[in-house]
Amino acid sequence: MSNNFTYSNPGVIEVTTQGSKPPCLENWKNDTYLKLENDKMSFTTTQWNFATARGTVFVSAGRWYYDLTIKTSGQARIGWASQNYAPESNQVGCGSDQDSWGWDGSQQKTFTDEKKNSSGKTYGEYWNANDIIGTSIDFDLNEIRYYKNGKDMGVAFRANKFPALHPCISFYRGCQMTVNFGPTFKHCPLGFYGMNPTVNATQKKNLLNIFLQYHKKGASLSDSSSRDVMKAKGVMDLATELGSKSPMDPHLLLLAWKLRSKKFCEFLDNEWMVLWANEKASTLDDIKASVNRWVKELEKNDPNLNKSFYIFVFDYMRREKGEKCTALEKDDAIYCWTLLGFNKKFKFFPDWEKFLKTSDSKGINRDVWDSIYRLHEKLGGDIKKFDEDDFWPILIDDFVHDCLLK
C-alpha cells in the first residue's frame, strides 16, 4: 500500500493539506461578465443579468453543507447543480433547468426547471446584509435545505435520487456574498460536514498509520484489490477498539455511515481521511471521542439525523448478501430495527415483530423498510392517526388491519 491517499475522481471531496489547493469557485462557463476575486471565494458581475459560478468540488453521497455571508444584499440564487448544468443564457440562474436547484432570499422563492414553473415556489425568509445563508444536501433522504443564521427553514427540494452535485451560485449586479466551504462554520446543522476537510502533515501521517494498523489485519497477500481497503477483520477489530461491546452496539454501523462505505465491512483509505479531517480527529483517542459523540447524537432523536441513518442502514446491510440483493431477511431486518432502537421508539413494534415472524413474507424490501419509519412517524402511539387513504405496501396494510384495527 502506498503512503499517499489517492483519489480516482478529480473534483470529488479531497483533503486539503499544506501546499494543496482548497475548494473554491470556478467560472466554468467562461462568462466574460463574471469576475472572480483573488481568493476565488466570491465574484462580481458587470451586467444586469445573472452570472453563475460553481464550486470546484462535487458530492454524490453523504450529508454536506456550505454557506455564504451576505456583504451586499440583492438578487441571487444559492444552491446546487449537476455536472450537466449549462444555463442557456445570462437571463437565467441556478434553478433554471432540471439540473439545478436554487433559492433566492430576496424574493423568498425556490427555483428548479423554470420552464415548468417560471414563478418559483414561496419558501424561506428574506435575507439581509450580514446574514449567513447555508444550504445542505442529504443524499440519504434526497433533500436540499436552507438555513438563515443557523435557523433551519425546512426542506426546499426533494428528489427520488439527486445526481452528483456541485455548489452553485448566481448573482445579479450589485449583490456580494462570500462563500465558505469549511472546515469551520459559525452554524452547521447536526451531522453535516463542510466540503474542505483539512489536515496538516503530522495529522495526515497519524491517520494513515491508524488506517494501516487495521488494514493489515484484514489484508491478504494474494488479494491485490485490498491495497487501499480495510477489510472485515480490520473493520471488526477497529469497531471493538472504538467501544463496540456487543452486536447491538451501533458503533460499526455509525462508522460505516459516516465513512459512506459502499461495500459491507470494507472501508476505503480516501473515505477514512476525509471523515477524520472533517471531524478534526487525528489520533485513536480523537476517533473514539467522535464515535462516542455520534452515539449520543443518535440518542437525541433528531428526526433528520436519525432518518438519514435509518435509510443508510438498509442499503448497507443488504450489501452483505451482494449488490444484487434487494431485500433483508426477516431476522436481519428485526435485528437492524432493534439495533436502531425501534423496539423502544415504535409502540407497536412487538406486534409488528410477531406479525412479521408468522407472515408469508420472505423478506423486507426497501418500500416496507421505509414505510415502517413512516408508520412510526404518522402514528406515534395512536392507532387512530392511521389514514386509510394513504398508500401503504400490502404487508404494512395487512399488519395494521389484522393486528391493530381488529
Of 162, 180, 198, which residue is a domain's last?
Answer: 180
Of 180, 206, 228, the residue that ends a domain is 180
In a domain, 232, yes or no: no
* Residue 19, beta-bridge partner list: none
Paired sense of beta strands 165-171 and 34-36, if any: unpaired
Is residue 323 within 8 Å of residue 370, measured between CB atoms?
no
Cβ count near 16 (within 10 Å): 18
Q: pLDDT band for position 227 (50/70/90)?
A: low
The answer on pLDDT for 224 being more than 50 is no
Give the number of other CB atoms < 10 A from CB of residue 245.
9
The CATH number of the domain where 73 resides is what?
2.60.120.920
Q: How far is residue 244 from each of residues 308, 312, 339, measured CA to CA in Å?
A: 21, 19, 12
Residues present in the chain in total: 406
Q: Is residue 94 part of a domain?
A: yes
Among 73-82, 173-182, 240-249, 290-299, the least confident range: 240-249
**pLDDT at residue 239 greater than cutoff 60:** yes
| pLDDT at residue 35 is higher than 70 | yes
- Per-residue model confidence (pLDDT) at position 220: 59
User: Could you give the number of structural domains in the chain?
Assistant: 2
Give the Cα separation of 80 and 99 in Å (integer): 9
Residue 137's domain comprises 25-180
pTM: 0.86
Look at residue 272 and tell me if it is in a domain: no
Choose one of 165, 180, 195: the last residue of a domain.
180
Residue 238 lies in a domain: no
> What does the pLDDT average to over 284-309?
92
How far apart are alpha carbons 332 and 323 in whole angstroms? 16
pLDDT over 60 at 364, yes or no? yes
The answer to the question of residue 363 being in a domain is yes
- 175 pLDDT exceeds 60? yes
pLDDT at 1 (0 to 100): 36
Query: Whole-angstrom Cα distance, residue 124 to residue 145?
Result: 10
**Three state DSSP letters for 339-352:** HCCHHHHCCCHHHH
| One-letter-per-residue 3-state SS of the chain | CCCCCCCCCCCECCCECCCCCCCCEECCCCCCCEEECCCCCCEEECCCCCEEEEECCEECCCEEEEEEEEEECCCEEEEEEECCCCCCCCCCCCCCCCCEEEEECCCCEEECCCCCCCCCEECCCCCCCCCEEEEEEECCCCEEEEEECCEEEEEEEECCCCCCEEEEEEECCCCEEEEECCCCCCCCCCCCECCCCECCHHHHHHHHHHHHHHHHHHCCCCCHHHCCEECHHHHHHHHHHCCCCCCCCCHHHHHHHHHCCCECCEEEHHHHHHHHHHCCCCCHHHHHHHHHHHHHHHHCCCHHHHHHHHHHHHHHHHHHHCCCCCEECHHHHHHHHHHCCHHHHCCCHHHHHHHHHHCCCCCEEHHHHHHHHHHHHHHCCCHHHCCCCCCCCHHHHHHHHHHHCC
Tell me the mean pLDDT in the region 25-39. Answer: 90
Determine what percent of the chain is predicted with pLDDT higher than 90. Answer: 61
Contact 173, 47 (CB under 8 A): yes
What pLDDT score does 218 carry? Answer: 65
- Residue 254 counted as domain residue: no
Q: Is residue 243 part of a domain?
A: no
Distance in angstroms (rounded) separating the CA atoms of residues 399 and 318: 23
CATH code of the domain containing 387: 1.10.238.200
Residue 290 counted as domain residue: no
pLDDT, greater one: 247 or 147: 147
Residues 14-30 have pLDDT tens digits of 677 656 788 999 999 88
